[in-house]
């Protein structure tokens, strides 16, 4: 489980709207909101540089965020990020208040290990990844950083399903009505008849050119 927290320093803002957002961006800030836990939402602004830095690291939706607003700290999780349609820079962030009892659905990245050492790799097999992330239901303060799948037991022709994965304690798949596939192991590609014929024609042509010379 991840114990890492992202830290943001923010300021309260009294007004909302496109005009306010544009003014904030001219100051290298972006608008954001903190909501949830049965409490009123609060509108804030934070550093655009900090928001983009953390977003581009790729873990903003799985690491908790400590957002300090005028000296008061809020434990949150980023649930939505609005991006510029062209520049892909962060325009707005929604933070949800969380606690030890808050359960959420979150997409957790899948990491495959021992691919080169696996028997199927030595036989030319190819790993085809169907899902790079798995949707899990878990406690917000115990989100796994990743799901690790050891490829050593798998052979060519196998399908790696969610039932093959040892999930962290306290988590369960969001999709719970079927044993879905995460990846498959395919056989090595064989040259087609067309490829063989083309290779034969090339060899024959080369032979004829040599004879003419």
Exposed e or buried b per residue across 168-184, where buried means at least 16 C-beta atoms within 10 angstroms of its C-beta: eeebebeeeeeebebbb
pLDDT: is 110 or 19 the higher one?
110
Domain ranges of the chain: 5-98, 104-186
Tell me: the pLDDT tens digits for 190-212? 755 555 554 555 444 544 444 44
Rounded to 5 degrees, what angle do the CA atoms 143, 94, 130 make?
50
169 pLDDT higher than 70 = yes
Which CATH code is given to the segment(s) 104-186?
A: 2.170.120.20
% residues pLDDT > 90 (the chain) = 75
pLDDT at 3: 59
Query: Any idea which architecture 5-98 has in CATH?
Result: Beta Barrel (2.40)
């Amino acid at each position: 489980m991840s114990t890492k927290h992202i830290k943001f320093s923010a300021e309260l803002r009294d007004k909302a709207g496109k005009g306010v957002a544009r003014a904030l961006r001219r100051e290298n800030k972006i608008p954001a909101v903190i909501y949830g836990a049965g409490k009123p939402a609060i509108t804030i602004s934070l550093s655009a540089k900090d928001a983009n830095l953390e977003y581009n690291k790729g873990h903003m939706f799985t690491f908790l965020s400590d957002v300090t607003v005028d000296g008061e700290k809020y434990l949150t999780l980023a649930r939505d990020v609005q991006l510029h349609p062209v520049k892909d820079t962060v325009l707005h962030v929604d933070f949800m208040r969380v606690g030890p009892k808050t359960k959420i659905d979150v997409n957790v990245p899948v990491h495959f290990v021992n691919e080169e050492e696996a028997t199927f790799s030595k036989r030319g097999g190819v790993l085809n990844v169907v899902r790079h992330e798995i949707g899990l239901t878990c406690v917000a303060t115990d989100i796994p950083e990743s799901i690790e799948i050891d490829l050593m037991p798998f052979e060519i022709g196998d399908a790696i399903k969610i039932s093959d994965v040892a999930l962290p304690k306290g988590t369960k798949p969001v999709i719970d009505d079927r044993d879905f596939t995460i990846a498959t192991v395919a056989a090595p590609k064989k040259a087609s008849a067309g490829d063989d014929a083309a290779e034969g024609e090339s060899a024959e042509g080369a032979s004829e050119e040599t004879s003419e010379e």
